[in-house]
Structure 1
Amino acid sequence: MFISRIRVLSLLLLCVSHLALAAPKQVQLTYEATRNGQPFATVNETYRQEGNRYHIESVTKGVGVYALFGERRLTSSGEVTAQGLKPEHFELHQGDNEKRSLYTDFDWANNQLKMKVKGKLNTVSLEPGAQDISSFIYQFMFAAPAGAELKLPVTTGKKLRTYHYQIDAKSDALEVAAGKFKVMHLSEAVADEDGKELWLAVEQHYLPVKLMMVDDKGSKIEQVLTSINVE
């Protein structure tokens, strides 16, 4: 019995390892962002893995009058493990306004999440498997959503909260500017002020084809894929 359990565990670890190896080493995604149906920004995302290290950069550039707000830049870096992404540092910058910048460090050794907001440090307990708002969508490349629901601790840079999604496992077809994709739909299990709906490309490493949310002013924000490059 003991030997049998060891064999099962070894097989599980091997499967996880194969998933990590199968994940792409470089991803480039471009999205059009709309507010209540009107385009307001272009989002360019890059994911790069070198060895057991990863780096993510997301740059949002406004169009028209929205360009006056400056670029919104998010970065996430850390380690790639058998379980997927293990963030170590996250930053968010809005234009040249340093007061709106956020800095987050994941202190896994001491199980602490250190979030610096407007120069003030807020430290909370670091939950296992925690991600930041840039890394969490790429974590699906390593751990595809399964079952009826998904709970994932995610930091926004200001706080740590649990994203709670219902999973619609059937693969519907969704056609966007980047092409036609079989998608899995993740919707909010509980209404939340900054929750998102996600449509993930089942045959493209569960990368997001579409994201939707309602902002604090009640506007409907959609982010739809216009181009994808996976290596």
Structure 2
Amino acid sequence: MKFLFSILLLCLFSFSVSAADMPSRIEINYAVTTDIGEGEINEVMEIKHTDDGHSYSIHSEAQATGIFKLLEPNRIVRHSEGIITQRGLRPARAYEKRGKKEPSLAAFDWKNHTITLKHKKQQLHEKLPEGTLDRLSLSYNFMFAPLPEHNIECYLPNGNSLVLSSYTITEETLNTPIGKMKTVVLTRQEDKSSKLKRKIWLAQNNHMLPVRIVSVEENGREIEKIVTGINISYKADE
């Protein structure tokens, strides 16, 4: 049975990468709530594919609104770009920028198996483990790669270091502002002493897109974002 299941996953993966109806551009709108006030963050994510279907770009911008904007007036910009492989996304460059602060940058050198991390004016070079992703590419990776049966392990840049992250895999029916969705839920496993928490809901019937993310950041801030709109284009940008 496990052998047949593996064959089915492989077939689904091969189809997803080569099928003519694979999206070339996706825009997602999220409403975001935090533990400080009733403000919202409006975030737009885009994923772009070239005509040959082998590269990607994901861009995310978050802007506080309402009361929350008084406390967090600056935009948060995240970006990831790279290529699509048979094992999923392989980032070449990723960064996060908050307002006018210097961005945190990760540059992936797969040929030499090294990653350069720039954070708070510090620059470090680390060994680059196979399968390393960044925060954005992890959320979209399973559009292109078969999902493991029980858990996921991968390295992610976190400021000036690489952190090994482990996620368990479950299923859940999720109510969203745009309807009920069958989802796969990735839950990050943390040490008991860690403040960090992260769960990602991927829509099973909509290209495994991330439709909800709940996290607790290093500063203790609780953030939940949930999809409010999805716009998909199936033609390459002209």
**Same-fold call, TM cutoff 0.5:** yes
Task: Check if 1:32 corresponds to 2:31.
Answer: yes
Quote the Cα distance in structure 2 between the aligned partners of 1:145 and 1:189: 17
Aligned partner of 1:161 in structure 2 is 163
**Aligned AA (1:92):** E
Aligned partner of 1:49 in structure 2 is 49
Aligned partner of 2:153 in structure 1 is 151
Aligned partner of 2:4 in structure 1 is none
Check the 8 A contact 1:16/1:83 in 2, yes or no.
no
Q: CA 1:91/1:66 → structure 2, altered by over 3 Å: closer, same or farther?
A: same
**Aligned AA (1:69):** P
Matched residue of 1:135: which SS? helix
Task: Check if 1:89 corresponds to 2:89.
Answer: no
Matched residue of 1:127: which SS? coil
Aligned partner of 2:18 in structure 1 is 21
Return 5+ residue gaps in structure 1 as ranges: 1-10
Moved more, 89-98 or 63-72: 63-72
Q: How does 1:172-211 map to 2 (within 5 A)?
A: 172-191=172-191, 192-211=194-213
**Aligned AA (1:32):** A
Quote the Cα distance in structure 2 between the aligned partners of 1:114 and 1:217: 24
Identity %: 27
Say how many residue pairs are matched: 218
Quote the Cα distance in structure 2 between the aligned partners of 1:217 and 1:81: 35
Aligned partner of 2:133 in structure 1 is 131
Q: CA RMSD in A?
A: 2.4
Quote the Cα distance in structure 2 between the aligned partners of 1:219 and 1:157: 17
Deviation of 1:81 (Å)? 1.8
Moved more, 18-27 or 221-230: 18-27
Moved more, 106-115 or 61-70: 61-70
Matched residue of 2:18: which SS? helix
Return 5+ residue gaps in structure 2 as ranges: 1-7, 234-238
Check the 8 A contact 1:33/1:222 in 2, yes or no.
yes
Matched residue of 2:39: which SS? strand
Check the 8 A contact 1:144/1:206 in 2, yes or no.
no
Q: CA 1:33/1:158 → structure 2, altered by over 3 Å: closer, same or farther?
A: farther
Deviation of 1:105 (Å)? 0.6
Check the 8 A contact 1:199/1:208 in 2, yes or no.
yes
